[in-house]
Amino acid sequence: MSIASRLKKQIFIQAQRVVPQHRLSRVVGKLAASENLIVKNAVITAFKAQYGIDMSIAEQQNALKFKSFNEFFTRALKDGVRAVDADPTSIVSPADGAISQLGKIENGDVFQAKGQKFTVENLIADPQLAEPFKNGQFATVYLSPKDYHRVHMPFAGTLTETLYVPGELFSVNQTTAENIPGLFARNERMVCLFDTELGRMAVVLVGAMIVAGIETVATGKVKPSGRIELNQHDLFLEKGAELGRFYLGSTAVVLFEENKMQWDAAFRANSEVVMGEAMGHTI
């Protein structure tokens, strides 16, 4: 890597440490929620051009028909665009995106990126609820700005708890993952915990810089409170059912218990995935 590239990376990392992350995200959130015709059309048009959004797979293909940028960003897909793998033993990708990392959780440690890791206990923010995953399996899926931004069930299960965990709002791209220790266990997040035929499963929706919100089917849009909030649920969701959505790009972390499933060998860091694609199987 050149000196200029290293300098650019360091400036990017340091800038995230000093900007008012939450204040910036609130400002962006208000802009993204605006239904002012001129504002929302200008933002949608610029975003669509910048990231090359493919509207041909969307249920509503005219981007300017959406009431707000948020509605455009969390757009539904056209029927038949994403098929959920029908094999009852398969574990499917919860989202369109790219795998940041996946593999075994080693004595509670989850691999983040070269030289970086975090603990499953810190990620879930509750030692008792984290215990089943300490030697299990994990997969981290990064949703870039161009991707479909709804998160779906990797495997059928009953939602039993959600924990809103306050935190920072660093970017979650590869550069930040390689340079911010414990990134996914530091950012604001919504932890969703399930009972399944495989035992316990978790899907953690991790917030990020200028992400204007996280929403789940059980809680609605998250209202940051500054404190951990635990809620009980009893909601069964089929494999592939919608679980939640992000308002701007972020990351979903999937966790399973030990010796219950394995990831398919074809998948590794930087593999592209689509929602419903089989990534692993029960054992």
Q: What is the pLDDT of residues 248-272, one digit of tens each?
A: 768 999 999 999 999 999 999 999 9
> pLDDT tier at 12 (50, 70, 90 boundaries)?
very low
Query: Which residues participate in catalysis according to the annotation?
Result: 96, 152, 250
The stretch 116-137 carries a mean pLDDT of 95
* Cβ-based neighbours of 58, under 8 Å, separated by 6 or more: 75, 76, 77, 78
Position with higher pLDDT, 183 vs 45 = 45
User: Does residue 205 lie within any of the structural domains?
Assistant: yes
Residue ranges making up the domain that contains 68: 3-74
pLDDT score at 107: 94
* Residue 217: other Cβ atoms inside 10 A: 17
pLDDT given at position 283: 93
Percent of the chain with pLDDT over 70: 84
CB contact set of 85 (below 8 Å; sequence gap of 6+): 92, 276, 277, 278
Determine which helix (DSSP H) or strand (DSSP E) holds 60, and give its type and residue range: none
**pLDDT of res. 20:** 44
Cα–Cα distance for residue pair 1/114, rounded to 1 Å: 15
Distance CA 172, CA 14 (A): 14
- The answer to whether position 274 is within a domain reads yes
DSSP classification of residue 85: P
Report percent pLDDT > 90 for the chain: 69
Are residue 141 and residue 250 in the same domain, yes or no?
yes
What is residue 168's DSSP assignment? B
Number of residues that this document lists for the chain: 283
Whether residue 276 sits in one domain with residue 174: yes
Average pLDDT score over residue span 194-198: 97
196 and 97 inside one domain: yes
Residue 23 has pLDDT above 60, yes or no: no
Q: What average pLDDT does the structure give for the chain?
A: 87
pLDDT value at 197 more than 60:
yes
Q: Both 122 and 36 in a single domain?
A: no
3-state helix, strand, coil in the chain (%, to 5): 25, 35, 40
In this predicted structure, what is the pLDDT of residue 209?
64
Listed residues 11, 40, 74: the one ending a domain: 74
Please tell me the distance from the alpha carbon of residue 217 to that of residue 214, in angstroms, as a whole number.
11
Position 11 scores a pLDDT of: 45
Position 16 scores a pLDDT of: 47
CATH of the domain at 133: 2.70.70
CA distance 88 to 85: 8
